[in-house]
Amino acid sequence: MSENTRIDIPAGFQGRDILTLLDYTGDELTQLLEFAEQLKKAPYQPDMLQGKSLGMIFENASTRTRVSFEVGMTQLGGHALFLSPRDMQIGRGEPIKDTGHVLSRFLDAIMIRTNSHEMVEELASYAEVPVINALTDLYHPCQALADILTVKEQKGSLEGLKVTFVGDGNNVAHSLMIICAKLGMDAALAVPKGYEPDENVWKEIEAVAEEKGTKVELTHSPKEAVKEADVIYTDVWASMGYEEEQGDREKAFEGFQVSEELCSHAKEDFIFLHCLPAHRGEEVTSEIIDGAHSFVYDQAENRLHAQKAMLAAVIGG
């Protein structure tokens, strides 16, 4: 496939929100992954979203998310606008309802990165264009799709794989466990006591795994979780908004560092993933993140391709 090969947009996604991967079937997620693979091989599709505009609302700092969405829209022929709450009326108390209705008159889609998932749901309920969740306190669907795209590239197939997340039961862990369950992979989540995933989200994950006939495990033992793992994943111990807990979290997460010793319990050909930014010497050692098993930069690049697939699927066609 050449860089300029014309690619067809998959049907059935147009006009839909992407708030959580729980709203999508395993077959639909497989379609998005295959679409992302095609777009990676032929990245420049200027006719796909020609004349389309994406509004990007950022309440939090961003490197990968902002750059990948902006570049993605450009490569698809569209345009992205950076919208800071400090520069919008929403930052001065304008109701979400009014913001959603007004932005829908100008834009073809809205991407939002914020703290409250409830806020994103409210925005989507009033917006008349697709809303894409680029990170909330509960979910990070864009990251999860890029993660599994990376796994598929490196492993060739997702069938029979075991994915282990070691660390905080946070938004990244939630979405990773969801997509693993949806696509029929076994998954394990190792967290310190007191840092378990959201109870309601975990029940949803267990329900999906039961339906798919796969196994999801929640444990307080990293060694138990990484046994025979094909993929080991971690994240910072104190995500955005929790920086003041850094000292307490360092004590609580003692023994949860992804090191050569911990990884020795996984399969010999395991791959290591991290959503970045990373704190070497805390959640992961330099030997692992900078070693031969690490694919964190491929994973970061795949944010671009996965998000282009999302954008084209819900806006185009």
Q: Per the residue annotation, which of 31, 38, 45, 143 is the catalytic one?
A: 143
CA angle 284, 286, 287 (to 5 degrees): 105
DSSP helix/strand/coil, 219? strand
- Whether 142 has a binding-site annotation, put simply, is yes
- 235 carries an active-site annotation: yes
Catalytic residue check, 66: no
d(CA 275, CA 140): 10
180 assigned ligand-binding residue:
no
The answer to whether the CB of 161 falls within 8 A of the CB of 155 is yes
Q: Is 246 a catalytic residue?
A: no
What does the alpha-carbon distance between residue 267 and residue 25 come to, in Å, rounded to a whole number?
A: 29
* Contact (CB, 8 A) for 274 and 236: no
Q: Which of 17, 31, 113, 117 is catalytic?
A: 113
- 140 is a catalytic site residue: yes
Q: Catalytic site residue 16?
A: no
Tell me the two tokens of residue 137.
């306190």
Annotated binding residue at 105?
no
CB 299 within 8 A of CB 289: no
235 is in an annotated binding site: yes
Does 274 carry a binding-site annotation?
no
To the question of whether residue 38 is assigned a binding role by annotation, the answer is no
With a CB cutoff of 8 Å and minimum separation 6, the contacts of 106 are 53, 55
The Cα–Cα gap between 117 and 98 comes to 18
User: Is position 113 annotated in a ligand binding site?
Assistant: yes
For residue 240, say whether it is annotated as part of any ligand binding site.
Answer: yes
Structure tokens at 65: 């998310």
Query: In which element (H, E) is residue 163 found?
Result: strand 162-166
Active site residue 92: no
State the catalytic residue, choosing from 117, 174, 303, 305.
303
Given the residues 140, 174, 274, 305, select the one marked as catalytic.
Answer: 140
Residue 50 labeled ligand binder: no
Out of 198, 275, 305, 307, the active site residue is 275
- Cβ atoms of 141 and 28 within 8 Å: the answer is no
Annotated active-site positions, please? 113, 140, 143, 235, 275, 303
Could you tell me which residues are annotated as the binding site? 62-65, 89, 113, 140-143, 171, 235, 239-240, 275-276, 303
Could you tell me which residues are annotated as the binding site for carbamoyl phosphate? 62-65, 89, 113, 140-143, 275-276, 303
Could you tell me which residues are annotated as the binding site for L-ornithine? 171, 235, 239-240
